[in-house]
Amino acid sequence: MTALKKYQRLECSGLWRETPHDQRREVLVRFGEATLILSDPKSGEAISHWSLPAVIRINRGEEPPVFAPGTESAESLELTEPYMIAALDAVRAAVTAAVPRPGRLRGLILGGLALLVVGLGLFWLPGALIGHTASVLPPAQRAQIGQRVLDDLSRVTGAPCDNQLGLEALARLAGRVFGPVDTPILYVMPEGVDQPLHLPGDVIILPRRLLEQANGPEAAAGAALVEGLRARAADPMVPLLEYAGLRATFQLLTTADLPDTAIKGYGEAALRAAPVRLSDDELIRAFEAAQIPATPYALAVDPDGAITGGLAAGDPYKGLAPAPLIPDESWVALQGICGA
């Protein structure tokens, strides 16, 4: 999305609905580098994060325009500010432009080159083809694929928890952990998730138990922080493409399309995958920089300390009482995010 830097920090008011049955609510809309941030105009606290490449207009041809964070989302946002509308139109144009539309001759040339590449991949280094394909995917396409993987995961876990106050608190926690720029989108699934995990497109999944069984938000914040580090340490597109196979990877490379059959079942596979190991030193530095105590996270994901014992021992805030990560009322709302 680097072509859209001129819109960064653009702000306007809008009317947001969590579901079609709710009353419209005035929000402050801010255009970030990769997300659209919706916040309370009075308190400034984040209410929701939308992935910019996934934003769609749901009332084409009608005025005022209404947008949603994806085809399956119940949320909607009505805007009247022309410059913000133009910015979102530019995003959609950039996403569309990222999809190749080669002519016949160009298609034959690309097809021949792609056959050569995939031939080398099949008989020489399959990992090279997967790694190359992952490396050339634009952020918009990564975000779209990530949302499709999230939908596949929902078949096993149920749809993401969506209590309104809980979502506001979750967005607030994400802003506290990662800051206002390039903030990953956090989700809590109702069941089936025992350990934190991350998906392509800056998507982080938190186990429900980290919220309902903890004494504070520190364990969930630590889980989000660690998954963000893992997503940077090892490209999450690579295991997805390994699961999809070389044929699907070849199709994605040459047509910018990953078939649904290649993604089906990957959500469940991601739940079973072993997490990327990070060194204690790297984790301790990250927790210290983020000003988040590490011990609550270490004990929540590994009570016996077999894996995270070094992290707990090196906790830079061990024995101290750091400032609350989010207000108490937000923590209470976060614990009830999977409630009615």
SS (H, E, C) 291-306: CCCCHHHHHHHCCCCC
Q: Tell me the C-alpha to C-alpha distance, in Å, between residue 4 and each of 77, 91, 95, 97, 180.
A: 20, 7, 11, 13, 17
Q: What average pLDDT is seen over the chain?
A: 85
| Cα 248 to Cα 264: distance, rounded to the nearest angstrom | 12
Q: Which amino acid is at 183?
A: T
* pLDDT at position 106: 56
CATH number of 2-97: 2.30.29.30
Instruction: List the chain domain ranges.
Output: 2-97, 104-137+238-267, 140-234+276-335
Over range 7-33, report the average pLDDT. Answer: 84
- Nearest one of 37, 35, 30, 29 to 13, comparing CA atoms: 29
Dump pLDDT digits (tens) for 65-82: 999 987 777 889 999 988
Dump pLDDT digits (tens) for 118-157: 555 454 456 778 888 898 888 878 888 988 999 999 999 9
What pLDDT band is residue 116 in, cutting at 50, 70 and 90? low
pTM: 0.74
Torsion of CA 144, 141, 222, 16, to 10 degrees: -50
Q: Tell me the C-alpha to C-alpha distance, in Å, between residue 144 and each of 69, 148, 320.
A: 11, 6, 42
Dump pLDDT digits (tens) for 283-296: 999 999 999 999 99
| Cα 246 to Cα 258: distance, rounded to the nearest angstrom | 11
Dump pLDDT digits (tens) for 134-144: 988 888 788 88
Q: How buried is residue 105: exposed, middle or buried, by Cβ count under 10 Å (0-12/13-18/19+)?
A: exposed
| Cα 20 to Cα 33: distance, rounded to the nearest angstrom | 28
Instruction: Enter the tokens of residue 18.
Output: 């969590």
Over range 90-98, report the average pLDDT. Answer: 65
9, 17 Cβ separation under 8 angstroms: no
130, 249 Cβ separation under 8 angstroms: yes
| Cα 155 to Cα 193: distance, rounded to the nearest angstrom | 12
